Structure 1
Amino acid sequence: MKLKIALCQMNVIDNKEKNITKAISMIKNAKKEGADIAILPEMFNCPYDNEKFKEYAEFVEDSYTLKSIADISKNNNIYVLAGSIPEKKIINETNEEKIYNTSFLFNDNGKILGYHRKMHLFDIDVKDKIYFKESDTLDHGDKVTVIDTESKIGKIGIGICYDIRFLELSRIMALEGAKILIYPGAFNLTTGPAHWELLFKSRALDNQVFTIGVSPCLNEFNNYHTYGHSIVCNPWGEVIKQGSYEEELLIVDIDLDEIYNTREEIPILKNRREDIYKLEKVI
Structure 2
Amino acid sequence: MAGSFRLALVQLAVTASKSDNLARAARLIKEAASKGANIVALPECFNSPYGTSYFPEYAEPIPGPSTETLVNAAKENNIYLVGGSIPEEDGGKIYNTCTVYNPNGDLIAKHRKVHLFDIDVPGKIRFQESETLSPGNNFSFFDTPLCRIGIGICYDIRFAEMAQIYAKNGCKLLIYPGAFNMTTGPAHWELLTRARALDNQLYVATVSPARDENASYVAWGHSSAVSPWGEVVATTGHEENIVYVDIDLGLIDQVRGQVPITVQRRNDLYEVSEKKKE
Tell me, in whole angstroms, the C-alpha distance in 2 between the residues paired with 1:89 and 1:55.
14
Match of 1:156 among 149, 164, 169: 149
Tell me, in whole angstroms, the C-alpha distance in 1 between the residues paired with 2:265 and 2:75.
42
Equivalent runs, 1:169-184 vs 2, <5 Å:
169-184=162-177
Equivalenced residues, count? 270
Equivalent runs, 1:129-140 vs 2, <5 Å:
129-140=124-135
What is the CA distance between 1:6 and its match in structure 2? 0.7
Which of 248-257 and 32-41 deviates more? 248-257
What is the CA distance between 1:274 and its match in structure 2? 2.7
Could you tell me which runs of 5 or more consecutive residues in structure 2 were left unpaired when the two chains were aligned.
Answer: none
1:223 is aligned with what amino acid? S
Could you tell me which runs of 5 or more consecutive residues in structure 1 were left unpaired when the two chains were aligned.
Answer: 91-96, 279-283
* Deviation sequence 1:128-180 (CA, Å, 0-9, x none): 0000000000000111112112x22x211000000000000000000011100
What is the CA distance between 1:271 and its match in structure 2? 2.9
* Correspondence for 1:87: 88
Identical aligned pairs, as a percentage? Answer: 48
1:68 is aligned with what amino acid? T
1:250 is aligned with what amino acid? V
Tell me, in whole angstroms, the C-alpha distance in 2 between the residues paired with 1:122 and 1:239.
25
2:261 is aligned with what amino acid? I
Tell me, in whole angstroms, the C-alpha distance in 2 between the residues paired with 1:277 and 1:53.
47
Secondary structure of the 1:179 match is strand
Tell me, in whole angstroms, the C-alpha distance in 2 between the residues paired with 1:115 and 1:180.
17
More helix by share: 2
* Correspondence for 2:50: 48
Runs of 4+ in 1 over 2 A off after TM superposition: none
Q: TM-score, normalised by structure 2?
A: 0.95
Residue 61 of structure 2 corresponds to residue 59 of structure 1: yes
* Deviation sequence 1:187-228 (CA, Å, 0-9, x none): 000000000000000000000000000000101121000000
Residue 231 of structure 2 corresponds to residue 230 of structure 1: no
Residue 76 of structure 2 corresponds to residue 75 of structure 1: yes
Tell me, in whole angstroms, the C-alpha distance in 2 between the residues paired with 1:98 and 1:159.
20
RMSD of aligned residue pairs (Cα, Å): 1.3
Tell me, in whole angstroms, the C-alpha distance in 2 between the residues paired with 1:258 and 1:104.
28
Tell me, in whole angstroms, the C-alpha distance in 2 between the residues paired with 1:205 and 1:277.
24
2:12 is aligned with what amino acid? M
* Correspondence for 1:21: 23
Tell me, in whole angstroms, the C-alpha distance in 2 between the residues paired with 1:229 and 1:277.
41
Match of 1:215 among 189, 208, 216: 208
Q: TM-score, normalised by structure 1?
A: 0.93
Tell me, in whole angstroms, the C-alpha distance in 2 between the residues paired with 1:148 and 1:227.
30
